Amino acid sequence: MKAIILAAGEGKRLRPLTNTIPKPIIKIFGKTIIEHNLEHIYKYVSEIIIVVKYKADEVKKAIGDEYKKVKVSYREQSDKPGTAGAIMGMEDIKKDVIILNGDSIFPKKDLKKILELDGYGALAKKVKEPEKYGIFKVDEKGFAKEVIEKPETFIGDLANVGVYKVSSEIFRIVDRIKISKRGEYEITDAINFFIAEHKFKIIEMEKEFIDVGYCWDILDANSHFLKKLDESEIEGEIEKGVTIKGNIILEKGAILKSGTSIEGNVFIGKNSVIGPNAYLRGETVIGENCKIGNAVEIKNSAIGDNTNVAHLSYIGDSIIG
């Protein structure tokens, strides 16, 4: 089986961050969004194919040509827009594939279920307002009859989240679909053709997936991981006179200088220097190669890689870098 990750989009709602960084490689808790998903799927696949377009070179640089010894290759999306356009021209793939959106983080437990599924299917999430989503209509055994975008009448409450396990036949099917009313080639149209020809199991997710739609969602996503941090992981250096009340990750090469105080669960990336006399509180993530100066206070914030915060500064509930 191969994996296809759709990572060609810009993420316009995340501007200005995505003016320089494509959404799929925005970092959450020290890893890009794509890498969080790779960590959950790499053991099950022989190759990872990432579909790119917007700032493609940045994605390639961030991910590289392998992930934990699994080959990573790239396909540039053609001028045909949309999620189905992203997988057009892949007729050379002859194996089953798992296709997933590259701009959300999916739980390991739920991905494991679909990866180990004997047959084909998709993940779905139960929602309270199905009229706002693409909804799978299913039979009494949980097999899909079709997926309908924003149904006007109630057909069910299992929303499509953008994770599908299908055969290589999908690459023949996408050539049959027509452009949608919004001017894109929709993968859900291809999935409906596939459903008509195959049993297609819908697996209800047990856990919430993380969708970073707007800038402030980055803080919530970091919080999701920081709240689960039940012990500290120290690879960097802690000088004398540092106070820590909470659990922290201090990556290799990072330094907490004397007089620095931490209250809460905090992530500090590789080669970052904090302090002296800095104060980090709440659920805060500091990226790699950052310099947080003397007497800086940071609360509930995300500081991107290679960011300098000058002495005597205050940053609260913000995303910088």
Write down all domains in the chain, each with its CATH number in brackets: 2-213 (3.90.550.10), 226-320 (2.160.10.10)
Between CA 159 and CA 30 the distance in angstroms is: 29
Whether the predicted pLDDT of 57 surpasses 80: yes
| Band of pLDDT at residue 179, cut at 50, 70 and 90 | confident
What number is the average pLDDT over the span 168-178?
A: 88
Report the DSSP beta bridge partners of residue 211: 104
Active site residue 40: no
Q: Which of 249, 253, 211, 255 is nearest to 228 (CA)?
A: 249
pLDDT digits (tens, 9 = 90+) for 40-49: 999 999 999 9
Residue 106, token pair as written in the block: 């999916």
Mean pLDDT of all residues in the chain? 91
| Band of pLDDT at residue 21, cut at 50, 70 and 90 | confident
Whether the predicted pLDDT of 17 surpasses 80: no
Q: What is the pLDDT of residue 130?
A: 87
* Residue from 36, 198, 224, 311 carrying the catalytic annotation: 311
User: Strand 134-138 relative to strand 120-126: parallel, antiparallel, unpaired?
Assistant: unpaired
